[in-house]
Amino acid sequence: MLRYLTAGESHGRGLLAILDGFPAGLKIDEEFINAELQARQAGYGRGGRMKIESDRVEIWSGIRGGVSIGSPLGILIRNNDFKIDELPPVTAPRPGHADLAGAQKYGHRDIRNVLERASARETAARVALGAVTQLLLREFDIRVESWIEGLGGIMIGETSEEERMENLRSSLLNCPDPAAEKMMIELIDRVIRDGDSLGGIFRVEISGVPPGLGSYSQGDTRLDGSLASALMGIPAIKGVEIGPGFEMAHLSGSKVHDEIICTEDGFCRLTNRAGGIEGG
């Protein structure tokens, strides 16, 4: 139903996004979108670039009086440091980036032509689109939550849902375990001193999803495949699991299924090992 395209370079005039198929009659809460953009920029240890960005969304179309009218949403996020035409060329390709493959694909001598688009900056447009989409999902009581589960080898401990929500509110790292967060921050400080960076793991939980959104009809209609593609398509992500994922690869079938229980109120499950998706 929804489709979108984004455009924009890291040091260009700004980022553009068009979202087609968004329904009419929905209040578009710009402050929520801006809060999501802020959350993307915050986070202990983020690079200096983040600090000069203070992204605010401008919605150029698709709304009237703050309410969606059914026509495509045109979204613009200005860059504070528009200087792409002045920046010097880059000639040394960095490993772990699109630099080399991009230069080979598009025939660039100046790798800046690659890295300006193949940049984490692009995800700001996707965050804005995601925030708009969350406004729609809320109408169906579908909630999206996310937190950090590990950083540089430090994994969080178990927390109850209440603890998690409480802790996330004051966390600098979107980490639900304060003890783990303390160690992560120390690790970040050390890594920054060394001029290095860190890998990590985050979890996304979506609640309130009705059954039957995906389909086993074709390989490309399965919801698990779409989610994997969306996540793997974020720069720097190298693995996607649904539920316990690779852990389940070491177990027998009887230990990874979620028994279906019939109650008076309908079906329910006591476990969620499938990550909420069975059969795609």
Beta carbon nearer to a copy of itself, 163 or 255: 255
Quick count: other Cβ atoms within 10 Å of Cβ 10? Answer: 20
Q: Residue 183, interface with a copy of itself (CB under 8 A)?
A: no
Question: Which stretch in 27-35, 41-49, 157-165, 217-225 sits in contact with a copy of itself by CB under 8 A?
Answer: 217-225
Distances from the Cα of 241 to the Cα of 9, 22, 165, 201, 249, angstroms: 30, 29, 23, 11, 11
The full length of the chain comes to 280
Q: Residue 272, interface with a copy of itself (CB under 8 A)?
A: no
d(CA 105, CA 108): 8
Beta bridge partners of 144: 206
Q: Residue from 50, 117, 134, 159 that binds a copy of itself (CB under 8 A)?
A: 117
Q: Which residue has the tokens 């937190």?
A: 147
Beta carbon nearer to a copy of itself, 169 or 211: 211
Write the single-letter amino acid at 47: G
Question: Cβ(115)–Cβ(96) under 8 Å?
Answer: no
**Contact code string over 133-162 relative to a copy of itself, x by CB under 8 A:** -----------------x-xx---------
Q: Residue from 218, 263, 264, 265 that binds a copy of itself (CB under 8 A)?
A: 218
Beta carbon nearer to a copy of itself, 9 or 36: 9
Could you give the 3-state DSSP secondary structure of residue 150?
A: strand
Q: Residue 130, interface with a copy of itself (CB under 8 A)?
A: no
Could you give the 3-state DSSP secondary structure of residue 169?
A: helix
Residues 232-271 that bind a copy of itself (CB under 8 A): 232-235, 237-246, 248-254, 256-260, 267, 269
Q: Residue 53, interface with a copy of itself (CB under 8 A)?
A: no
